Amino acid sequence: MDENKKAAQKKKVTHFITMAVLVILFLAFIFPFIMVIINAFKTKGDITADPLALIGSHGFILTNFTDAMKKMNFATSFTNSLMITTISTIFTILLSAMTAFVIVRNKWKACGLLFSLMIASMVIPFQVLMIPLVSLYGGIFGVLNSRITLILMHIGFSLSMATFMFHGAIHTSIPLELEEAALIDGCTRWQTYWKIVFPLLKPTIATVAIIDAMAFWNDYLLPSLVLGRKELYTLPIATQAFYGTYSTDLGLVMAALLLAMLPILVLYLFLQRYIVEGVTSGAVKG
Amino acid sequence: MERNTMKYKVKQYLMFAGVSTVLFCAVVILPFIYGLYLTFTSWDGVSKEKPFVGLANYIATFQDAAYWQALGRTLIYSVIAVILVNVVAFFLAYLLTSGIKGQNFFRAGFFVPNLIGGIVLGYVWKFVFNRAFVALGKSLSVGALSTSWLATTNGAMACLIIVSVWQYAGYMMLIYVAGFMSVSKSLMEAAQIDGCTKTQATLNVTIPLMRSSFVQCLFLTITRCFMVYDVNLSLTKGEPFNSSVMAAMHVYNQAFSYKNYGTGQAEALVLFVVCAIVGVTQVYIGKKGEVAA
Amino acid sequence: MKKRISMAIAVATAAAMMTGAAVPVMADDVNITIFNSKMEIQSQFEEKAAEYTEETGVGVEVYYNSDTVSAHLATRYSANDPYTISMVDPKDIYSLAADHAIDLSDQSWVNETDYAIGVDGQINGFPTCLEARGLIYNADAIEAITGETFNPDDYKTLDSFKELLEKLKEGGMETPTGIMKEDWSLAAHFLAEIYEEQPDVEAFITSLHEGTADLANNEKFNSLMDFFDVMMENNYAKDSAIAAERETTEMMLAEGQIAFLFGGNWDWSVINAYDYTENMGMMPVPQNTDDGSNEKLVGGGSKFMMIDSSDATSDEQRQAAKDFLTWLADSDEGQSFIAETCALVPAFSNNEKEVSDPLGKSVKKYADEGALIPNYNYLPDDHISMCGAIFQKYLAGQVDRAEFAAELENYWQNTTPVEH
């Protein structure tokens, strides 16, 4: 009895310490974000004067949001961003999971070569590819200023990392026996993949979806190279209107940031369930 | 057996990886080859002529002292940042998969920093280092805090590392969380029934099974730190006295601000090779001992 | 699962096809694009372009990009998708015009300005405005302490300026000055004055390259650095000059917590975000000299517009672009857009519109009197970064003036001269 009590007490203390550590770290992590929120409701003057004040001397203002929406052409940019991010993310996941599967399950030379190239390519600084990319697709093929081009480029650039992540997941957590059983039952490789393997990859799919969707949604450099027309602008390009060498309207920038990040936050909260679900469903057993 | 014929292999490959291969080559490999060609020219980035100069840009690269200094600096920064990011991220993931109250809320909170990028990130952290820390240091009369860290050479480096940890820890936490989750609970339970404590079970069962998460996170942090640019630009801009110019920023300046596109491109390729050697070696070692399910 | 996936693919494909819908292009109308590199006038410019389109039927779209001008244009040229009109800095005209710009010497506005520039004997750049550097003052803040009307002409010498600072300090303004630690301010704006105020600038630059210049004993170097030392001594952020933030410094100047800051009339776009006073202005840098430089600001034409010469731009577009520039220079509406709407100082003598901001008014006054020392536009591309870093060390107190001079000399000797 005494033993149990002691153990329970020890557990409580550990729990308390864990919680305290988490809360402190949490505050440190969240602090800059809180600053963005409070400053989005202030004038530029008030931000410089006292960034920590909850309400600036010009009062609580919403004009940053209305101005930002107007200047960014919000509805158009938002639709563009949404379309490009959604389509790119879906195709990246589908293609890279398939690629990873064929690489993991076969010891073919082509697979090894592709995988090595992909890994190496993740290390290429984007600046190296920037000018050649626009020279090829703008100067020679003339296919810039199109959303489809951007989507295909997004997919091309993100395949490597997504494949790399699926590679790890398939290698360690998809039991070969399940697939062999399905093959014996008369399934083709293609059917086995979609019926057995892909559903089991849910936690990784959710992770890749978040990481890639976030990368696409926030990417500035590539879209700014590909989309040179205002009606094609995505949110990050539209936000550039507030940045300057000699002056930057921080209130507007922060309001724009908040407007732009909400969808990703919602997506994250939604997908997080799947990361957890992947375990509780207990599908993965050795 | 049908499965061993060349035709079967090609068909399988194309079915699963055909589209990927085409897109990947079109977007990454082709421009890379063209970029490689440009390193043998003295192009300035804007003129119509691209005179061929052979290896001159590589010679210039090896003679560019500022570049090697930046590369050395990047190396130091990367080693410290990679270790810290992964320690913090793993620790967070461990705590946040232990069934603690409000873990979903915490996970979201630690992830949020990822969503702040560019100039806002620079602004917010400049405020923290220049004013919040200084005010704190003065009121507590802590000498180390009472002047801005961003004003000193080592301080600026420390600031870059802190912000990188803040930015990437939540991201890597996500991958570690997925790793923890994919190790089935029953294995842990079995280990505990066999007499392991929870810590022992984590060390001996979970961590080895999470090897691929480690490989991924290390690779991602190594490459990202090596190529750090955004944080560098928005937080320090290389200041003070160009003492915090990292390799990617130097390369960008060389190519575009100083209009030596060819040399900049060559320096970027050297950066790529260094980074690829480190990153790929790490993956190779990591994957070699991977435990298959 | 399979069903869901095929659904997802179907939806994605459908959406992909929709996004492919071509951008509507009006076949008959001429459309031109303008690259604006002056962020503070972007929204005014966009509005004016819309009005212009309505009046003339020529589609004008104004773009802005926060990247370095030359880097951004490099990507557009590589993509064979240049802007019809690009607004760039003088050094970009010199590096780009030969390959990418048309000759504008036959345009009517050329006779109305002294500031148009070009290469190979041509005129390629249309000067959007005049900009000048000098000492910005907040007269309200000064008058509140001295009780007298502030007249900048009384403080031409460093000695008189020092006396004024002492008076301000006695009156309660403990630190009357601010310094921008940004490399462009230190190297491209302040340090450049040391070259620009030399009796023969080209000869001086050549002697720097050749290593024959003796900076430490150079009259202008010492005269201007004496002034800089006074600014450093009275800097509100003296303890951590290298961490001072520009926004904060400009706010303090606008609100009169400090009285002096070395800068240019573009600083107004920052100052006007705070509780500013109209009673501000710009004055020459006070120096104990009799070479006349303490009666002049340094500056000239700025932000030059050039018209693209490539095949990607049609002759109709080029004509429309020329018409637009002529409209900007000669029409009443265009003139009022530059001077009143954008608060820029016009670079054309036929534009007699009142400049709307106090710093611009000072620049206009000195320009009209012919009291502008011209910009030197041929500094090497890495000058800002390299010399900015050297200057920051001086500002941080890490090197003294002799070491500072030696490091600058060392930079110049190891740098290839800019051909021009």
Give the model confidence (pLDDT) of B88-122 as tens digits. 999 888 888 877 777 778 888 888 777 776 666 77
Q: Which residue is it, tokens 């009472």?
A: B146
pLDDT band (50, 70, 90) for residue C359: very high
- What CATH architecture is B65-118+149-292? Orthogonal Bundle (1.10)
Mean pLDDT score of chain B, rounded to an integer?
Answer: 82
Nearest to B106 among A26, A210, A276 (CB): A26
**B131 pLDDT higher than 80:** no
Q: Write out residues 182-221 of C within 8 Å (CB-CB) of B.
A: 183
Which residues of chain B lie closer than 8 angstroms to A176, CB-CB? 292-293
Structure tokens at B274: 């260094």
| Nearest CA among B227, B217, B182, B223 for reference residue B87 | B217
Whole-number pLDDT of residue C11: 53
- Per-domain residue ranges for chain A? 2-39, 73-280
Whole-angstrom Cα Rg for chain C: 24
Which of the residue ranges B148-152, B287-291, C342-346 has the most confident prediction, judged by mean pLDDT?
A: C342-346
CB contact under 8 A, C66 and A148: no
Whole-number pLDDT of residue B119: 64
Query: Is-cis flag, bond preceding B240, omega within 30?
Result: yes
8 A C-beta contact, residue C135 and residue C262: yes
**A165 pLDDT higher than 80:** yes
| Nearest CA among A220, A232, A226 for reference residue A143 | A226
Which residues of chain C lie closer than 8 angstroms to B47, CB-CB? 95, 98-99
Q: Does C245 touch chain B (CB under 8 A)?
A: yes
Task: For residues C56 and C50, give the distance between their C-alpha atoms in angstroms, rounded to a whole number.
Answer: 10
Q: Is B222 left (phi over 0), alpha (psi -120 to 50) or beta?
A: alpha
DSSP 3-state of C61:
strand
Which residues of chain C lie closer than 8 angstroms to A135, CB-CB? 78-79
CA distances from A56 to A39, A42, A230, B8, C17 (A): 8, 6, 34, 69, 47
Q: Does C99 touch chain B (CB under 8 A)?
A: yes
Structure tokens at C294: 């303490």
Whole-number pLDDT of residue A97: 94
Cβ–Cβ pairs < 8 A, chains A and C: 112
**C78 pLDDT higher than 90:** no
**B292 pLDDT higher than 70:** no
- Alpha-carbon distance A243 to nearest alpha carbon in chain C (angstroms): 6
8 A C-beta contact, residue B182 and residue A278: yes
Average pLDDT of span C30-59 = 90
Instruction: Report the share of chain C in percent with pLDDT over 70.
Output: 93
DSSP 3-state of C117:
strand
A67 to chain C: nearest residue by CA?
C43
**B152 pLDDT higher than 60:** yes
- Specify the higher pLDDT residue, C125 or A51: C125
Q: Write out residues 273-292 of C within 8 Å (CB-CB) of A.
A: 273-275
**Quick count: other Cβ atoms within 10 Å of Cβ C369?**
10
Whole-number pLDDT of residue A53: 75
Structure tokens at C44: 């005014």
Instruction: Report the share of chain B in percent with pLDDT over 90.
Output: 13
Q: Write out residues 169-228 of C within 8 Å (CB-CB) of A.
A: 184
Whole-number pLDDT of residue A280: 37
Mean pLDDT score of chain C, rounded to an integer?
Answer: 88
- Specify the higher pLDDT residue, B34 or B279: B34
Nearest to B291 among A157, A172, A278 (CB): A172
Fold match between domain C8-131+300-364 and domain C132-298+373-413: yes
CATH number corresponding to C132-298+373-413 = 3.40.190.10
Neighbours of C, requiring at least 3 CB pairs below 8 Å, are: A, B
Whole-number pLDDT of residue A283: 36
- Per-domain residue ranges for chain B? 65-118+149-292
Residue at B130: amino acid letter: N
Neighbours of A, requiring at least 3 CB pairs below 8 Å, are: B, C
DSSP string over C268-312: HHHHTTSS--S-EEEEPPP-S-SSSGGG-EEEEEEEEEEEB-STT
Q: Does C389 touch chain B (CB under 8 A)?
A: yes
Q: Write out residues 115-174 of C within 8 Å (CB-CB) of A.
A: none
Torsion sign, CA atoms A48, A54, A56, A58:
positive
pLDDT band (50, 70, 90) for residue A173: confident
Which residues of chain C lie closer than 8 angstroms to A239, CB-CB? none
Task: For residues B264 and B61, give the distance between their C-alpha atoms in angstroms, rounded to a whole number.
Answer: 8
Q: Write out residues 205-234 of B within 8 Å (CB-CB) of A.
A: 209, 211-213, 215-216, 219-220, 223, 226-227, 229
Which residues of chain B lie closer than 8 angstroms to C68, CB-CB? 256-257
Any residues with CB less than 8 A from the CB of B181 and at least 6 apart, and which?
A203, A275, A276, A278, A279, B97
Average pLDDT of span A113-123 = 88
**B278 pLDDT higher than 90:** no
DSSP 3-state of C256:
coil
Average pLDDT of span C205-222 = 91
What value of ipTM does the predicted structure carry?
0.83
Mean pLDDT score of chain A, rounded to an integer?
Answer: 83
Average pLDDT of span C217-225 = 92
Task: For residues B131 and A233, give the distance between their C-alpha atoms in angstroms, rounded to a whole number.
Answer: 36
The neighbouring-strand residues paired with B52 are B41
Whole-number pLDDT of residue A279: 40
Whole-number pLDDT of residue A247: 62
Whole-number pLDDT of residue C354: 86
**A286 pLDDT higher than 50:** no
Q: Does B87 touch chain A (CB under 8 A)?
A: no
Whole-number pLDDT of residue B184: 63
Q: Does B34 touch chain A (CB under 8 A)?
A: yes
CA A3 from chain centre, in angstroms, equals 48
Average pLDDT of span C19-23 = 43
- Per-domain residue ranges for chain C? 8-131+300-364, 132-298+373-413
Whole-number pLDDT of residue A275: 59
Instruction: Report the share of chain B in percent with pLDDT over 70.
Output: 93
Whole-number pLDDT of residue A285: 33
b/e for A12-50, b at 16 or more Cβ within 10 A?
Answer: eeeeeebeeebeebbeebbebbebbebbbbbbbbbbbbe
- Alpha-carbon distance B69 to nearest alpha carbon in chain C (angstroms): 14
| Domain at A73-280, CATH from 1.10.1040.10, 1.10.150.120, 1.10.3720.10, 3.40.50.300 | 1.10.3720.10
DSSP 3-state of C251:
helix
Q: Write out residues 143-182 of C within 8 Å (CB-CB) of B.
A: 181
- What CATH architecture is C8-131+300-364? 3-Layer(aba) Sandwich (3.40)
Whole-number pLDDT of residue C12: 52
| Nearest CA among B22, B150, B7, B169 for reference residue B83 | B169
The structure's pTM equals: 0.83
CB contact under 8 A, B209 and A172: yes
CA distances from C303 to A166, B121, C89, C283 (A): 51, 30, 5, 22
The neighbouring-strand residues paired with C127 are C304
Whole-number pLDDT of residue C53: 92
CA atoms within 13 A on the CB side of B198: 5
Average pLDDT of span A94-123 = 90
Average pLDDT of span C257-264 = 94
Nearest to A231 among C23, C66, C74 (CB): C23
Q: Helices (DSSP H) in C79-186: which residue ranges?
A: 90-100, 139-146, 158-170, 183
**B144 pLDDT higher than 80:** no
Which residues of chain A lie closer than 8 angstroms to C257, CB-CB? none
**C75 pLDDT higher than 80:** yes
